[in-house]
Structure 1
Amino acid sequence: MQVFRCPACSSPVYFHNLACGCGQEVSFDPDAQTMVAGAPHCTNRDDIACNWVAEEGGLCRSCAMTETVPDLRAEQNLPLWESSEYAKRRMLAELGRWGWFTSNDAGARPVFRMLSEETLHGEEDVIMGHADGLITINVTEASDPVLAERQEQFDELYRTMLGHMRHEMAHFLFLRLAGEPGFLDSFRPLFGDEREDYGAALQRHYDAPADPGETHITHYATAHPHEDWAETLAHLQHLVSMLDSGVASGLRLPGMPGEGYDPYLEADTDALITQAVNLSIAVNHVNRALDLPDLYPFVLTQPVREKMALAHRWLRRL
């Protein structure tokens, strides 16, 4: 993620900020990818600290995609909804760097159902997922204790709210790209035939998870071509965002491009991945000095890199 500048004093302003230290209120303009002053605020600004510019109807572009919010009569759900919407905004802002869901993108947009397992009257079973453009998110996993429990339960270190957003959005992007000439012809040789029975494939996975081996980025990616695509695309977004944030923060390693480099404009997927991995290795070294986990503990094999290259090309729509 970029580091922005205050429109009043040019001090650094970060993606989550509602105001600069100088007192200037700011709002994020997703088309201009800048922080602006004096723009109409999203209706949700006071409730969930949404700092995006309002569009028609008073909601920002991101909040307008949310069809259902969690039961706010259960008081713990407001901060969970806030955290989940922040992750959604971050994911959408990054996809906007590639032209997705901007004012110039006439394609379909997803609809989000933000639900919680906790309601005023008890517990509710919420299953995350994507179905025909509708993305269901369980905001309960924005709770640190719940997230930690499920990371261990499912053996998924990268089971985070932002990870969920990137994964489920990848399913939606597949839906959009599947209508593009040539996409499925390029997809199937690498990922497999997405027409395979999804329910049966998922049941086989839960009965006996396959080893990802050299060909898949995670265990879950082995379940079905749709999940392989979603996991691969989510990890590509992890890597590009990590590199972009490092560059924006002034981190430099030998061989890395200099000031002004924009990872979202990089066409060479292998160079992009290599730079991100090198950055992660350097941060791993720092983290170990504090006995902290590795930043990106995945080995990217050549078959996985080839899948990422295909996903990258279509994500850039080139």
Structure 2
Amino acid sequence: MQIFRCPACSSPVYFHNLACGCGQEVSFDPDAQTMVAGAPHCANRDEIACNWVAEQGGLCRSCAMTETVPDLRAEQNLPLWADSELAKRRMLAELARWGWFTPADPGARPVFRMLSEETLHGEADVIMGHANGIITINVTEASDAVLAHRQEQFDELYRTMLGHMRHEMAHFLFLRLAEDPAFLDDFRARFGDERADYTAALQQHYDAPKERGPEYITTYATAHPHEDWAETLAHLQHLVSMLDSGLASGLRLPDFPAEGYDAFLEADTEALITRAVHLSIAVNHVNRALDLPDLYPFVLTQPVREKMALAHRWLRRV
């Protein structure tokens, strides 16, 4: 993610900021990818600290995609919803740099159902997922305590709200891309036939997970071609965002390109991945000095890199 500049004093402003230290209120314009002053605020600004520019109807582009919000009568749900929406805005802002969901993009938009396991009337069962353009997000996992428990429970130490957003959005992007028969030909050649019984495949996965092996980025990716795609595309987004954020912060290694390089404009997937991995190794070295976890604890094999290259090409739609 970029670091922005205050339109009044040019001081650094970060993606989540509502105002600069100088007192200037700011809003994020997802098309210009800048912070602006004087634009109409999203109607959710006061409630969930949404700092995006309002569009038609008073909501910003991101909030307008949310069809259902959690039960706000259960008081813990408001901050969980706010944190979940922030992750969604970050994901959407970065996808916009590849042209997704901008005014120039005529395709369908996803619909989000932001639900919580906690309601005024007791606990509810909420399953994260995507179905026919509707993405269901369990905002309960925005809680640090719940997230830490489920990271251990499911042996997914990289399980995060932003990771969920990127994974479920990948399923939606598959629907959009599958409108082109050429994509399906490419997809099936690399990921397998997505027409295989999904329910049966997931049941088999939970009953007896396959060994991950060199073909897959995660164990969950082995369950079905749809999940392989979603995990691969999510990790590609992790890597591009990590590299983009590192460069924006001034972090550079000797083999990095000159200042002004834009990771979202890079067409060479192998170069992109390699730079991101080199950056992660450098940060890992710093983290270990403080006894902190590795930044990106995954090994990217050649088959996984080839899948990422296919996903990257179609994500860029060139």
Q: TM-score interval w.r.t. the shorter chain?
A: over 0.9
Distance 1:270 1:64 in 2: 36
Query: Secondary structure of 1:114's partner?
Result: strand
Which amino acid in 1 is paired with 2:28?
Answer: F
Which amino acid in 2 is paired with 1:308?
Answer: M
Query: Secondary structure of 2:261's partner?
Result: coil
The answer to whether the aligner puts 1:245 opposite 2:245 as a matched pair is: yes
Q: Name 2:294's counterpart in structure 1.
A: 294
Q: Name 2:110's counterpart in structure 1.
A: 110
The answer to whether the aligner puts 1:75 opposite 2:71 as a matched pair is: no
Instruction: Please report how far the alpha carbon of residue 157 of structure 1 lies from its aligned counterpart in structure 2 after TM superposition.
Output: 1.2
The answer to whether the aligner puts 1:179 opposite 2:179 as a matched pair is: yes
Q: Deviations over 1:213-240 (max 9, x none)?
A: 0100000000000000000000000000
- Structure 2 segments unaligned to the other structure (5+ residues): none
Q: Name 2:213's counterpart in structure 1.
A: 213
Distance 1:6 1:181 in 2: 45
Instruction: Please report how far the alpha carbon of residue 158 of structure 1 lies from its aligned counterpart in structure 2 after TM superposition.
Output: 1.4
Which amino acid in 2 is paired with 1:34?
Answer: T
Distance 2:190 2:299 in 1: 18
Which amino acid in 1 is paired with 2:171?
Answer: H
Q: Name 2:41's counterpart in structure 1.
A: 41
Distance 2:199 2:181 in 1: 27
Q: Name 2:310's counterpart in structure 1.
A: 310
Q: Deviations over 1:120-151 (max 9, x none)?
A: 01000000000000000000000000000000
Q: Name 2:280's counterpart in structure 1.
A: 280
Q: Name 1:20's counterpart in structure 2.
A: 20
Q: Name 1:166's counterpart in structure 2.
A: 166
Give the alignment of 1:96-107 within 5 angstroms. Answer: 96-107=96-107
Q: TM-score, normalised by structure 1?
A: 1.00
Give aligned-pair identity as a percent: 87
Q: Name 1:193's counterpart in structure 2.
A: 193
Which amino acid in 2 is paired with 1:28?
Answer: F
Q: Deviations over 1:44-65 (max 9, x none)?
A: 0000000000000000000000
Distance 1:68 1:210 in 2: 36
Distance 1:114 1:209 in 2: 29
Give the alignment of 1:220-235 within 5 angstroms. Answer: 220-235=220-235
Query: Secondary structure of 2:250's partner?
Result: coil
Q: TM-score, normalised by structure 2?
A: 1.00
Larger deviation: 175-184 or 71-80? 175-184
Instruction: Please report how far the alpha carbon of residue 181 of structure 1 lies from its aligned counterpart in structure 2 after TM superposition.
Output: 3.4
Which amino acid in 2 is paired with 1:218?
Answer: T
Q: Deviations over 1:142-185 (max 9, x none)?
A: 00000000000001111100000000000000000000130000
Larger deviation: 275-284 or 205-214? 205-214
Distance 1:29 1:103 in 2: 12
Which amino acid in 1 is paired with 2:133?
Answer: G
Q: Name 1:131's counterpart in structure 2.
A: 131
Which amino acid in 2 is paired with 1:37?
Answer: A
Which amino acid in 2 is paired with 1:265?
Answer: L
Distance 2:103 2:49 in 1: 23
Cα root mean square deviation, aligned: 0.4
Query: Secondary structure of 1:113's partner?
Result: strand
Distance 2:43 2:5 in 1: 24
Which amino acid in 1 is paired with 2:284?
Answer: N
Query: Secondary structure of 2:213's partner?
Result: coil
Distance 1:35 1:312 in 2: 27
Which amino acid in 1 is paired with 2:264?
Answer: Y
- Structure 1 segments unaligned to the other structure (5+ residues): none
Larger deviation: 254-263 or 265-274? 254-263
In the TM superposition, structure 1's runs of 4+ consecutive aligned residues that sit over 2 Å from their partners are none
Distance 1:226 1:207 in 2: 18
Query: Secondary structure of 1:112's partner?
Result: strand
